A and B are shown apart, each in its own frame.
Chain A
Amino acid sequence: MKKIVAAALMAAAAGLYAIPATAQEDGLSLEGKTIGVAVVGTQHFWDREAFNGATTTVEELGGTVVPVDGGRDNQVHADNHDVLLNRGVDAVISILGDGAVEPKFEALKSAGIPVFTVDHPSPYSTNNTTSDNYTMGTTIGRYMADAIGGKGKVAVFNAFEESLRICGIRTGLWKYVLQDYPEIEIIQPELAEEFANAPEDARRQTLDLLSQYPEGTIDAIHVGCWDQPAIGIVQALEETGRTEIKVTALDGGPETLEIMAEEGSPFVANVAQQPYLIGATSAENVARYFAGEELLPQTYVDVMPVNGPEEARQAYEDLGYGSLN
């Protein structure tokens, strides 16, 4: 059964990776167009991969890229859109960001420059390319509940549920699934992770949490929207010898898949995304827009549920990160 699932995943991944080639076969082109690509930061794998996917694809389609990086500061990221507006680009691909970007999107739209967002639904966006966040939220809810036998206390890092729509979907659906597990209790208050220094911050907060909850009083720690904090959480659990606590998160970057792949790892479940493909798909959507195609408001890119070390190793390989065997 596992082989069938793995084969299906590989086929799906192969199919998805084939999209750029298909795009070129479709005759899509950005020849003569200048496309601004604004990314909130390039420190984290996900952001960097989405950025690389967008910029490489724009160039492959014949366009010129004007790249700007917010350095993981949402205000700098928002300001960078003003620079692109003044630069007079033909379109903007905006990767992540919080509410600070909305007035900038509005200004770009008013100036006749279409905005294509990545993981940021906005009323001013022509199209938003994103993962299937609905599947991510429900799947991780089920996996986490299974990992702790359907009962116990769970701490959650959840800084972005109310401020970022994608995080609202993921965390909201995780909580929705947990409604069917009345014996699972979410520890209050919820924890809030830092944006810029996530692993170290989460490590410190987890150590504080563990000092408040002695052995046997906490069963899992979940990160509501991404997986960088999970790196620090696992470090804290290993430092204190509390690896009986299960860790779950979302994104499935190579660093966290590596941690998951270790035998006996407390990091038990994840849902992997394909950030490079998301960035590339957004760039193709820009080309489709200029070719006169009608775009849907949202383009969803498939995700890959990862449950346990064996699937982590398989996902690592399927996503093209190399081999962990």
Chain B
Amino acid sequence: MLSRSIARHRLMAELVGFLPLIIFLALLTYVGLNAPNFMTLFNLKLVLMQSLPVVLLVTGLSAVVMAGGDDVVSGGIDLSIPATAVLCAGITAVLLASGLSLFVASLAALAAALAAGAVNAVLITRLRMTPLLTTLAMFVALVGINNMVTSRRRINLTDGHIGLLREDFVFGIPLGIVIVALVVLVAYHLLHRTRWGLNLQAAGGSRDAAEISGLKVDRLVAQSYLLAAFMGFLTGFFVLARGNGYSPGVENNLMLEMVLANFLGAAFSPRRVVTMWGAVLGAVLVAAISIGLKTIGVNVFWTDLVKGALILVVVALSAISQRVQ
């Protein structure tokens, strides 16, 4: 009798655990059937293109969460990556506009990104500051620096190489999609197939156990912030390509989408933890749903409500599933 009850309980937990995926697939099917031209290769390309910056951001963020643990308040998180990306875009745009080469501009942007990552790492691992507050403060500081660098002005793209990221490369696939796919594969290998990646996950899974087994957890956490900053640097080029130049005020939307995609991705993991693949899938699905709602012609005043409600439902179901388990 008891075993039957436990079995029913587990079945319930499994069902609740799958509900987010079921809801998303049902919504995608609805959108696919009702939105003209949604189920086309062109639209798939559109979804992937529009999700590229967020895919890069969540790849960096998932590394930080893996190393620091997935508790939103006390675990690993880096809210400053979108600001790093936009700062890199701003620095690159300003230097290109002033006549410097793309190589020099990129080096300057890389230096800025790594400096931001290093400061995050020092504050969090040496001064033991809370990652959430530290990186939120860093976000604000980087936006401030960027405002100084760009004078908050729109800067048109003057280098054709960056624009290539949105151009078709082979068989109608844009170069940007090819590059991001390669970056994601390399990141996957690094995070899941190397000793360093496994140590990173061990550090995030249980800090005490990792330390007892001889891992240098602080060093691993610091490295994850540097990796995240590097992903911010790469994202900067996609921000420039997407906007045909630098436009102020892009960071807020990027941060919202990054956090949503990252934790939405956890809902797709069997253990409800943040994974790189889950985060990437979350980024693509958020873009797909967003495009689908627009294609159907949902009233613009309702779009955010629909998206927000959907995310709340998915995250709530994920929490219920965890509790039931």
Q: Which residues of A contact B (CB under 8 A)?
A: 39, 42, 51, 64-69, 71-76, 78-80, 82-83, 86-88, 98-103, 159-160, 162-164, 189, 192-196
Indicate whether A160 sits within 8 Å of B154 (C-beta atoms), given known contacts A98-B247, A99-B244, A100-B243.
yes
The complex places the Cα of A71 from the Cα of B290 at a distance, in Å, of 13
| Interchain CB contact under 8 A, B295 and A86 | yes
Closest to A158 in B: B153
Q: Does B297 contact A (CB under 8 A)?
A: yes
The complex places the Cα of A25 from the Cα of B43 at a distance, in Å, of 40
Known: A74-B154, A99-B244. 9 other contacts (CB 8 A): A42-B300, A73-B252, A74-B250, A75-B250, A86-B46, A88-B37, A162-B153, A164-B154, A195-B249
The complex places the Cα of A79 from the Cα of B38 at a distance, in Å, of 16
Closest chain-A Cβ to B265's Cβ sits at a distance in Å of 21
| Interchain CB contact under 8 A, A86 and B37 | yes
| Interchain CB contact under 8 A, A66 and B297 | yes
Closest to B292 in A: A83
B156 interface neighbour in A72, A87, A159, A163, Cβ under 8 Å: A163
Enumerate chain A residues within 8 angstroms of B42, measured Cβ to Cβ: 86
Enumerate chain A residues within 8 angstroms of B297, measured Cβ to Cβ: 64-67
| Interchain CB contact under 8 A, A194 and B152 | yes
Q: Which of A74, A82, A83, A194 has the most CB of B within 10 A?
A: A83
Q: List 16 A-B contacts (CB under 8 A).
A: A66-B295, A71-B304, A72-B249, A73-B247, A74-B154, A74-B250, A75-B239, A83-B291, A87-B36, A99-B154, A99-B244, A102-B244, A103-B166, A159-B151, A159-B248, A192-B151
Q: Does B294 contact A (CB under 8 A)?
A: yes
| Interchain CB contact under 8 A, A100 and B245 | yes
Closest to A73 in B: B253
Enumerate chain A residues within 8 angstroms of B153, measured Cβ to Cβ: 159-160, 162-163, 192
Closest chain-A Cβ to B146's Cβ sits at a distance in Å of 12
Enumerate chain A residues within 8 angstroms of B151, measured Cβ to Cβ: 159, 189, 192
B248 interface neighbour in A67, A76, A194, Cβ under 8 Å: A194
B 38-60 to A, binary, CB cutoff 8 A, 1 in contact else 0:
00101100100110000000000
Enumerate chain A residues within 8 angstroms of B35, measured Cβ to Cβ: 87
Enumerate chain A residues within 8 angstroms of B74, measured Cβ to Cβ: none
| Interchain CB contact under 8 A, A83 and B295 | yes
Q: Which of B37, B152, B248, B304 has the most CB of A within 10 A?
A: B248
Enumerate chain B residues within 8 angstroms of A86, measured Cβ to Cβ: 37, 40, 42-43, 46, 291, 295
Enumerate chain A residues within 8 angstroms of B299, measured Cβ to Cβ: 67
| Interchain CB contact under 8 A, B46 and A98 | no
Q: Does B207 contact A (CB under 8 A)?
A: no
The complex places the Cα of A163 from the Cα of B150 at a distance, in Å, of 12
Enumerate chain B residues within 8 angstroms of A75, measured Cβ to Cβ: 239, 242-243, 247, 250, 253
The complex places the Cα of A13 from the Cα of B154 at a distance, in Å, of 34
The complex places the Cα of A72 from the Cα of B304 at a distance, in Å, of 13
| Interchain CB contact under 8 A, A100 and B244 | yes
Q: Does B303 contact A (CB under 8 A)?
A: yes
A68 interface neighbour in B40, B147, B300, Cβ under 8 Å: B300
Closest chain-B Cβ to A150's Cβ sits at a distance in Å of 29
Closest chain-B Cβ to A131's Cβ sits at a distance in Å of 20
Enumerate chain B residues within 8 angstroms of A79, measured Cβ to Cβ: 50, 242
The complex places the Cα of A324 from the Cα of B57 at a distance, in Å, of 50
Closest chain-A Cβ to B42's Cβ sits at a distance in Å of 6
Q: Does B301 contact A (CB under 8 A)?
A: yes
| Interchain CB contact under 8 A, B154 and A88 | no
| Interchain CB contact under 8 A, A98 and B295 | no
Enumerate chain A residues within 8 angstroms of B163, measured Cβ to Cβ: 103
Closest chain-A Cβ to B94's Cβ sits at a distance in Å of 13
Closest chain-A Cβ to B90's Cβ sits at a distance in Å of 13
Closest chain-B Cβ to A276's Cβ sits at a distance in Å of 16
Enumerate chain B residues within 8 angstroms of A162, measured Cβ to Cβ: 153-154
Closest chain-B Cβ to A130's Cβ sits at a distance in Å of 18
The complex places the Cα of A83 from the Cα of B31 at a distance, in Å, of 13
| Interchain CB contact under 8 A, A42 and B301 | yes
B 213-249 to A, binary, CB cutoff 8 A, 1 in contact else 0:
0000000000000000000000000010011110111
Closest chain-B Cβ to A206's Cβ sits at a distance in Å of 15
Closest chain-A Cβ to B174's Cβ sits at a distance in Å of 12
Indicate whether A74 sits within 8 Å of B301 (C-beta atoms), given known contacts A83-B291, A86-B42, A88-B37.
no
Closest to B251 in A: A73
| Interchain CB contact under 8 A, A87 and B295 | yes
Closest chain-B Cβ to A51's Cβ sits at a distance in Å of 8
Closest to A164 in B: B154
The complex places the Cα of A98 from the Cα of B249 at a distance, in Å, of 12
Enumerate chain B residues within 8 angstroms of A39, measured Cβ to Cβ: 300
Closest to A80 in B: B294
| Interchain CB contact under 8 A, B249 and A87 | no
| Interchain CB contact under 8 A, A83 and B300 | no
Closest to B239 in A: A75
The complex places the Cα of A103 from the Cα of B46 at a distance, in Å, of 14
A74 interface neighbour in B247, B294, B304, Cβ under 8 Å: B247
The complex places the Cα of A189 from the Cα of B295 at a distance, in Å, of 44
Enumerate chain B residues within 8 angstroms of A163, measured Cβ to Cβ: 153-156
| Interchain CB contact under 8 A, B294 and A71 | no
The complex places the Cα of A88 from the Cα of B152 at a distance, in Å, of 35
Enumerate chain B residues within 8 angstroms of A51, measured Cβ to Cβ: 300
Enumerate chain B residues within 8 angstroms of A69, measured Cβ to Cβ: 300, 303
| Interchain CB contact under 8 A, B50 and A82 | yes
